[in-house]
Amino acid sequence: MKRIIGSVVVALAVVFLASPAFAQRRHNPLEGQPAIRHRLELRSLRFEVTPFAGFTMLNDFNNTAFGGVKLEYHLTDWIGIGGLFGGGAAVGTGLKDQIEQTLFDSGDLKGGPTKTCADAAMNHVAYFAAGQVELSPFGGKFAVFSKAFMNYDFYVDLGVGLVGLANNLGGHPECPSDQYGGMNNDVNNGLKIGPTGAVGMHWFFNKFVALDLSYRAIVIKDNPSGRDTNGDKVVNSDDLKFGPKNFITLGLAFYLPADAEISR
Q: Where are the domains of the chain?
A: 43-262
Across the range 142-171, mean pLDDT stands at 90
Quote the pLDDT of residue 183.
47
- For 100, 124, 212, 225, the CA distances from 172, given in Å and listed in that order, are 17, 17, 41, 16
CB burial of residue 249 (10 Å; 0-12, 13-18, 19+): buried
Across the range 86-112, mean pLDDT stands at 90
The pLDDT of residue 164 is above 60: yes
Quote the pLDDT of residue 59.
95
Q: Where is mean pLDDT largest: 225-229, 239-243, 252-256?
A: 252-256
The pLDDT of residue 2 is above 70: no
What is the CATH T-level fold of the domain 43-262, as seen in this structure?
A: Porin (2.40.160)
Across the range 212-222, mean pLDDT stands at 97
Give the chain's length.
264
Q: Where is mean pLDDT largest: 9-13, 32-36, 97-101, 112-116?
A: 97-101
Backbone angles phi, psi at 14, to 5 degrees: -60, -45
Q: Which residue, among 58, 64, 182, 54, has the nearest Cα to 123 in the 3D structure? A: 64
Quote the pLDDT of residue 178.
56
**How many other CB atoms are there within 10 angstroms of residue 50's CB atom?**
23
Quote the pLDDT of residue 182.
43
Out of 1-5, 39-43, 88-92, 221-225, which region has the weakest mean confidence (pLDDT)? 1-5
The pLDDT of residue 253 is above 90: yes
Cα(252)–Cα(209) distance, integer angstroms: 7
Mean residue pLDDT of the chain comes to 85
The pLDDT of residue 100 is above 70: yes
β-pair partners for 249: 54, 214
- Tell me the pLDDT tens digit for each residue of 35-66: 555 567 788 899 999 999 999 999 999 999 99
The pLDDT of residue 89 is above 60: yes
Cα(83)–Cα(92) distance, integer angstroms: 28
Across the range 210-220, mean pLDDT stands at 98
Across the range 14-22, mean pLDDT stands at 54
- Tell me the pLDDT tens digit for each residue of 105-155: 887 777 778 899 889 989 999 999 999 999 999 988 888 787 788 899 999
Quote the pLDDT of residue 19.
54
Residues 6+ apart with CB under 8 A from 40: 151, 207, 260, 262
Residues 6+ apart with CB under 8 A from 81: 72, 73, 75, 132, 133, 134
Categorize the per-residue pLDDT at 83 as very low, low, confident or very high, splitting at 50, 70 and 90: very high
Which has the higher per-residue pLDDT, 232 or 154?
154
